Amino acid sequence: MKDKSMAYNHHIEAIRKEEFPMIQDDIYLDHAGTTLYPKSLVDSFATEMTANLFGNPHSASASSQRTMFIIENIRHRVLRFFNADPTEFDLVFVANATAGIKLVSDAFRGFPEGFNYLYHQASHTSLVGVRQEARNSLCLDSHDVDKWIEQGHLEAKLNSRPQATLFAYPAQSNMDGRRYPLSWCQKLRCASLNTGCQVYTLLDAAAYAATSPLDLSNAETAPDFTVLSFYKIFGFPDLGGLIVKREAAPIFKQRRYFGGGTVDMVLCSKEQWHAPKTQSLHEALEDGTLPIHNIIALDSALEAHHKLYGSMEDVASHTSFLTSRLHRGLKRVRHGNGEPVCVMYSISPDDANAGSGNGPVVAFNLRSRLGAWISLDELEKLVVLKKFHIRTGGLCNPGGVAATLGLEPWEMKQNFSAGFRCGNENDIINGKPTGVIRVSLGAMSTLSDVDKFVAFIEEFYKEDHQPHPVSRTKSIVEDDTSNAFVDTIMVYPIKSCGGFRIPTGIPWAVRPEGLAWDREWCLVHHGTGLALSQKRYPHMALIRPSIDFSAGQLTVTYYGPLPATVRTEISVPLSVNPELFQPVDTPKAMESRVCGEGISTMIYKSNDVAAFFSDILGVPCALARFPPGGSGTNSVQIAE
Ligand SMILES: *Cc1c(COP(=O)(O)O)cnc(C)c1O
């Protein structure tokens, strides 16, 4: 086993420079975000593209027929890749896993009496969102699912009207890599046989299929719907798939929407009627022109994957071997006082008590010698400098992160009201972390990638120094009382811009969630409405706001180089005068969105103010203020 793993590792070491020139001296450890595409895939795709004339498959020309023919071949090839018999399953090409989930959701919302939606706690945000379409929805943990299987029904009260129930779960969590039993699908189907309410299963295999063989050879035990993201397996193309068990296909007859290419005939004027395509399921579901070139690239992707890595089993055993080493390595790093540096959330793939096991993902947080949590934002800055590519934060897995970190809904809501959004600098709130560090591996990861990361954690986060050989609490108290005193306090009136030193002798309100005037304003991108951050726009550090109570103004000065014609200072009143802001109910009013949740901000109307910031940062943006009470009380509006 070990020899085989070493042989694979040597092979990757040998081809990596040639096949992945884009890596250079970076260390890429975010394969759960997307894996990397090899050069031979891109070369072979380029050859294919320039050697053939590909037309739109909806036309009748020879080039169209060629496209059609190739796409159908690839569809079969992909099904075979998952051991799925084309007579039992159909593959629908979609933009990404999320689009596949939405297609299923679209079908279920067509039930006249609605449907029940049950989803596992470890679900990706994209699965959670389906609950908005359901009549009843419930979030379950593994224990609940086991009980459901055992008893044939759920104790929790669900409205019994709907005739159909959809249960969705990830085969592997994108947060900590934990795997969930593929056998649940069949067990739930059987358990609900006599209940009068049919249970359908939706398996999110986007993370799982990236490094493991997904085997659908037994149609009886397979999920009704399986969604995938091909870029997570191959690095390219940017494409997703929905694999539907033909037995469950009639569900899609309820889908109301139809798009170009999915209907045989449509009448519009005097009579409104349409005939959906009936020949194959995928024809009726692939709205509009297919992502032709992406699908064609999938052929090169399958080819290159096989040539470089062998089988999916080989990839699975290599990544599992590396993950054990990474997990062990991080767990072993200890401070001088014997306390662990890493608090591990993932289980090791070689943990015998691990249930369905764990994929090549290690999620953890860092603690100091005295047990204080290390800020993710601080880590991120160092990680970037040292050329590691990892992911930190909430990871689009709200239930998983909350359960892992023991965050209660009231705490999360309180954090939200206090101004916490994903991507904030302030990620340790009330002494608790609000996100995790995720390191994930792929088919082209090597031993050296793993060892470098462990060495990095050891070098920068291990503290050997141990001045007082006393208990933890005692030493904190001593440190606090002996020589610590507050010299100055800064607030950051505009999120991510320079700080403002609180003048001595001026009373300053401290609210439950922090200092007054801290992050009262932010800059939002004109196109996306996203709040700008210093990470992306380092010049924000040179924008210094100052609060002048006597003038009742916030004055913003820019301390960087600017052409002489551009002003270096602007002011806005501290008071909230509605006249100064864009009306909120127009489509023009923007929302600042961070991490998918929307918070309505009030945007200043003044063109001068917007131009001041846009000129400095070289990006169209505007100054915005959180609504009254936004950073002060618990009443931040969440846009639905
Ligand atoms: C990446 C991922 C998704 C979302 O995939 P998209 O391709 O971005 O739609 C959903 N679920 C899991 C488990 C994932 O890892």
pLDDT at 472: 41
Residue of 204, 211, 228, 438 best suited for mutating to test ligand 1, as the one with most atoms within 8 Å of CB: 204
> Given ligand 1 and candidates 34, 105, 126, 230, which is best to mutate, with the most ligand atoms within 8 Å of its CB?
126
**414 shares a domain with 520:** no
Catalytically annotated residue among 185, 268, 342, 396: 396
Give me the pLDDT at residue 471, please: 42
Let me know: does 350 contact 321? Beta carbons within 8 Å.
no
Distance between Cα 161 and ligand 1 center (Å): 31
Q: What H or E segment, with its residue span, contains residue 555?
A: strand 553-558
Ligand 1 atom closest to Cα of residue 208: 13
Q: Is residue 440 assigned to a domain? A: yes
**206 alpha carbon – ligand 1 mean position (Å):** 5
Ligand 1 pocket: which of 229, 242, 438 to mutate (most atoms <8 Å of CB)? 229
Atom of ligand 1 at shortest distance to CA of 232? 1
Question: 245 and 281 in contact (C-beta within 8 Å)?
Answer: no
Nearest residue (CA) to ligand 1, atom 5: 97
Q: Which of 124, 203, 226, 236 to mutate to test the pocket of ligand 1 (most atoms within 8 A of CB)?
A: 124
Q: Would you say residue 216 lies in a domain?
A: yes
Determine the structural domain holding residue 274 and report its residue range: 258-288
Q: Look at residue 13 and tell me if it is in a domain.
A: no
Same domain, 328 and 190: no
Token readout for 172 is 């592997």
Distance from C-alpha of 67 to C-alpha of 21, rounded to nearest angstrom = 31
Q: What is the pLDDT of residue 413?
A: 73
Same-domain pairing of 240 and 267: no
Same-domain status, 366 and 427: yes
Active site residue 197: no
- Find the 436 Cα to ligand 1 centroid distance in Å: 18
Which pLDDT score, from 0 to 100, does residue 152 have? 78
- The residues, ordered by sequence, that sit 6+ positions from 513 with a Cβ below 8 Å of its Cβ are 414, 417, 418, 419, 631, 632
87-90 long-range contacts, Cβ below 8 Å, gap at least 24? Answer: 87/246, 88/219, 88/222, 88/245, 88/246, 88/247, 89/216, 89/219, 89/222, 89/243, 89/244, 89/245, 89/246, 90/243, 90/244, 90/246, 90/249, 90/280, 90/281, 90/282
DSSP 236-267: ----EEEEEEGGGGGGGGG-----TTSEEEEE
> 317, 81 in Cβ contact below 8 A?
no
3-state secondary structure of 522: strand
Q: C-alpha distances in angstroms, 476 versus 223, 339, 369? A: 53, 15, 11
Same domain flag for 293 and 373: no
What tokens appear for 237 in the block? 């193309």
The reply to whether the predicted model has a pTM over 0.85 is no
Closest ligand 1 atom to the C-alpha of 170? 13
- State the closest ligand 1 atom to the C-alpha of 124, by its place in the atom list counted from 1: 11
Quick check: is 24 in a domain? no
Measured in Å, residue 250 CA sits from the centre of ligand 1 at 25
Q: Which atom of ligand 1 is nearest to the CA of 96?
A: 7
Instruction: With H, G, I as helix, E, B as strand and everything else as coil, classify residue 201.
Output: strand
- Asked if 375 and 420 sit in the same domain, the reply is yes
Q: Is residue 40 part of a domain?
A: no
- Each residue of 356-375: pLDDT tens digit? 889 999 999 999 988 888 88
Residues with CB under 6 A from ligand 1: 96-98, 124, 126, 170, 174, 204, 206-207, 229, 240
Q: Is 267 found in the same domain as 229?
A: no
Which atom of ligand 1 is closest in space to residue 207's alpha carbon? 15
Span from the CA of 489 to the centroid of ligand 1 (angstroms): 42
What's the CA-to-centroid distance between 98 and ligand 1, angstroms?
Answer: 6
* Residue 624 within any structural domain of the chain: yes
Question: Same structural domain for residues 235 and 275?
Answer: no
Residue 1 placed within a domain: no
Token pair 């936004």 is found at 630
Which three-class secondary structure string do you get for 114-167?
CCEEEEECCCCHHHHHHHHHCCEEEEECHHHHHHHHHHCCCCCCCCCCCCEEEE
Counted domains in the chain:
4
Q: Would 23 be classed as within a structural domain?
A: no
Q: Are residues 433 and 527 in the same domain?
A: no
Residues of the chain with pLDDT under 50: 468-481, 593-597, 630-640
Verify that 518 and 626 share a domain, yes or no.
Answer: yes
**Three-state secondary structure call for residue 92:** strand
Q: Are residues 65 and 179 in the same domain?
A: yes
Query: Residue 15 CB: number of other CB atoms within 10 A?
Result: 17
Which CATH number covers residue 338? 3.90.1150.10
How far, in Å, from the CA of 315 to the mean position of ligand 1?
Answer: 20
What pLDDT sits at residue 125? 93
Strands 490-491 and 428-429, bridge-based pairing = unpaired
219 in the same domain as 73? yes
Q: Is 314 left (phi over 0), alpha (psi -120 to 50) or beta?
A: alpha
The Å distance, Cα 10 to ligand 1 centre, comes to 31
